[in-house]
């Protein structure tokens, strides 16, 4: 194994260990110091026998210690708002993310000084991204809720550096910020909202909600019952934009453009990925998913598997280095990573055994890509869901092959709305048919008496 790969994998291991055990600062610095000294002497003197094994072992130790240290640094916070816990106070902050509107509340992240706070506001809240807001509320520490699969809510929030919550504050909007970065994202969010409104104008509900979810990650509009039906059938991962969705779309696009020069298909794939990332507001999960999907696009272009493996590890390293908590507590990162591995290693092998499927329109390639990604992410989805759906594999095989088509037609519907409502309606008819098929499958298997 390459020395760099050993270091990165050991780094991941160190982050995992520090996520559950506190080794203390003294242990970290002593370990790093000792490993660095031994590594220096090993490289300088180059002992004749066993030098490779010795160097690899030292690199592994250094990587693990570095991972422990990085996670330790990530968990060192000042917690400046602790003095306000349990008492009502007034704070001035800025809305840092686009508000997420649910059935019973509106949720968004606000920044107060250097601290990020998750705010649960009224369902009719008029707060928008970039607003400078005055809050009057009691600050709380996020409470963990019981979960059979061991999901830790506070750890999930920590990956976003969120350590406090506000529940239904008294809110007064002061003004909008004039920072260029805020203005740019406001324009992007406006573009996304217009895109979603075009879909909802020509596609009935709940199909419009699903179409918006699988294209630009719009999560508002999903009822509790609808999400429960998707969980029961093991297909909940398609209703929001993730690395899994974009990876499938990117690989499918590459295979669908088999009749054009390879360079053209590569650049077309990159453009589609870029458009998806921009339409979602270029948030961290979308950017991360776009990077993963980009690796899939470049894999066949460069030809050799070990190169994409190297790129995958290096990109994962920098993602975890930037935010260590994503390794264990970010489903989007995990699904992106695992689905990419499936498409790289499993799809070519599966396609060899699918000779009974036609190669026209590259149906065989698309089917093998979908199946290989599903096989790789299936155990992870089971672990995340906590409950194994007995019909999950069947439902996924019936729905996933048409997810790229559903995303593409829904995307065309939203884009066409900027030019002509008539053209949008034309694409909307086809989008409605495809999305209705997905709901039919979900509803049919959800009605079975497994639950």
Secondary structure of the chain: what % helix, strand, coil (to 5)?
65, 10, 25
Is 346:374 a contact under the CB 8 Å cutoff?
A: no
The C-alpha R_g of the chain, in whole angstroms, comes to 24
Determine how β-strand 88-95 pairs with β-strand 131-140: antiparallel
Could you tell me which residues are beta bridge partners of residue 113?
none
For residues 174 and 393, which has the higher predicted lDDT (pLDDT)? 174
Q: Please, which residues bridge with residue 137 across strands?
A: 89
Is 31 a residue whose pLDDT tops 70? yes
Range among 175-179, 258-262, 271-275, 322-326 with highest mean pLDDT value = 322-326
pLDDT in tens, 190-214: 888 888 899 999 999 888 888 888 8
- Residue 307 is predicted with a pLDDT of 63
- Give domain limits for the chain: 3-74, 80-177, 196-446
Q: Which two tokens stand for residue 445?
A: 């298997």
**pLDDT-based confidence at residue 436 (cuts at 50, 70, 90):** very high
- What's the mean pLDDT in 135-147? 74
399 vs 427: CA distance, rounded Å? 20
pLDDT at residue 430 in the model: 92
447 or 383: which carries more pLDDT confidence?
A: 447
Tokens of 197: 């409104």
| pLDDT band with cut points at 50, 70 and 90 for residue 16 | confident
Residue 237 confidence class, pLDDT cut points 50, 70, 90 = low
Beta carbons of 308 and 215 less than 8 angstroms apart? no
Confidence of residue 283 (pLDDT cuts 50, 70, 90): low
Look at residue 414 and tell me whether its pLDDT is greater than 60: yes
Confidence tier at 433 by pLDDT (50, 70, 90): very high
What is the average per-residue pLDDT within 27-44? 73
**Rounded CA separation 82/139 (Å):** 8
113-131 mean pLDDT: 82
Residue 44 in this model has a pLDDT that exceeds 70: no
* Rounded average pLDDT over 310-339: 78
DSSP letter, residue 33: H
Report the phi/psi class of residue 133: left, alpha or beta, with left for phi > 0 and alpha for psi in -120 to 50: beta
Options 3.90.1150.10, 3.30.70.340, 2.40.50.140, 2.120.10.60; CATH of 80-177 = 2.40.50.140
| Cis before 206 (ω within 30) | yes
Mean pLDDT of 423-439: 91
Angle between helix axes 284-302 and 331-341 (nearest 10 degrees) is 10
For residues 123 and 106, is the Cβ–Cβ distance under 8 A? yes
**Separation of alpha carbons 444 and 399, rounded Å:** 13
pLDDT value of position 412: 85
Mean per-residue pLDDT, 138-143: 81
Expressed in angstroms, the distance from the first to the final Cα of the chain is 46
Q: Angle, nearest 10°, between helix axes 363-385 and 392-399?
A: 140
How far is CA 180 from each of CA 18, 130, 177, 185, 187, rounded to the nearest angstrom?
38, 11, 9, 9, 11
Quote the pLDDT of residue 179: 67
d(CA 109, CA 94): 9
Please, are residues 365 and 416 in contact by the beta-carbon 8 Å criterion?
no
Report the C-alpha gap between 151 and 329 in whole angstroms.
8
Work out the pLDDT band at 432, boundaries 50, 70, 90.
Answer: very high
State the alpha helices, DSSP H only, in 49-179: 51-74, 153-158
Sign for the CA dihedral angle at 255, 343, 248, 404 comes to: positive
Q: Which of 158, 149, 111 is nearest to 130 (CA)?
A: 111
Dist CA 181 CA 94 (whole Å)? 13
Per-residue pLDDT band at 434 (split at 50, 70, 90): very high
For residue 181, the model assigns a pLDDT of 64
Lowest mean pLDDT among 117-121, 147-151, 354-358, 381-385: 147-151
**Residue ranges in 303-344 assigned as alpha helix (H):** 305-322, 326-329, 331-341
Nearest C-alpha neighbor of 407 from the set 247, 292, 226, 282: 247
Q: Is 218 helix (H, G, I), strand (E, B) or coil?
A: coil
Structure tokens at 103: 């059935």
Q: Which residues pair with 115 in a beta bridge?
A: 112
pLDDT of residue 306: 44
């Amino acid at each position: 194994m390459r020395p760099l790969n050993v270091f990165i994998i050991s780094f991941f291991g160190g982050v995992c260990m520090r996520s559950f055990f506190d080794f203390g600062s003294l242990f970290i610095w002593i370990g790093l110091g000792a490993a660095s000294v031994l590594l220096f002497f090993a490289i300088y003197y180059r002992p004749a026998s066993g030098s490779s094994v010795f160097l690899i072992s030292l690199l592994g130790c250094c990587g693990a210690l570095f991972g422990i240290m990085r996670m330790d640094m990530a968990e060192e916070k000042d917690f400046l708002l602790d003095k306000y816990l349990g008492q009502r106070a007034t704070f001035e902050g800025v809305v840092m993310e686009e508000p997420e509107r649910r059935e019973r509340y509106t949720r968004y992240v606000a920044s107060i000084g250097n601290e990020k706070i998750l705010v649960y506001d009224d369902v009719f809240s008029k707060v928008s991204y970039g607003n400078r807001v005055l809050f009057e509320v009691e600050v709380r520490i996020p409470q963990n809720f019981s979960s059979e699969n061991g999901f830790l809510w506070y750890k999930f929030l920590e990956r976003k550096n969120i350590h406090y919550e506000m529940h239904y504050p008294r809110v007064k909007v002061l003004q909008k910020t004039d920072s260029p970065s805020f203005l740019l994202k406001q324009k992007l969010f406006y573009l996304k909202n217009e895109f979603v409104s075009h879909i909802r104008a020509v596609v009935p509900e709940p199909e419009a909600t699903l179409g918006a979810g699988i294209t630009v990650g719009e999560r508002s509009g999903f009822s509790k019952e609808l999400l429960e039906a998707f969980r029961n059938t093991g297909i909940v991962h398609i209703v929001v934009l993730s690395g899994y969705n974009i990876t499938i779309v990117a690989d499918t696009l590459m295979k669908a453009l088999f009749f054009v020069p390879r360079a053209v298909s590569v650049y077309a794939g990159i453009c589609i990925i870029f458009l998806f990332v921009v339409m979602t507001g270029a948030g961290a999960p979308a950017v991360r998913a776009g990077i993963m999907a980009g690796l899939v696009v470049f894999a066949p272009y460069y030809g050799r598997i070990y190169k994409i493996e190297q790129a995958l590890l290096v990109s994962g390293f920098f993602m975890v280095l930037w935010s260590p908590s994503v390794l264990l507590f970010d489903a989007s990162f995990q699904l992106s990573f695992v689905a990419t591995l499936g498409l790289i290693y499993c799809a070519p092998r599966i396609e060899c055994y699918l000779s009974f499927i036609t190669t026209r329109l590259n149906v065989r390639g698309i089917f093998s890509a979908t199946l290989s990604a599903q096989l790789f992410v299936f155990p992870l989805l089971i672990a995340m869901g906590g409950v194994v759906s007995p019909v999950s594999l069947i439902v996924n095989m019936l729905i996933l092959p048409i997810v790229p088509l559903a995303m593409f037609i829904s995307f065309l519907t939203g884009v066409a709305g900027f030019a002509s409502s008539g053209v949008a309606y034309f694409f909307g008819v086809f989008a409605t048919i495809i999305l209705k098929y997905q709901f039919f499958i979900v509803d049919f298997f959800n009605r079975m008496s497994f639950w």
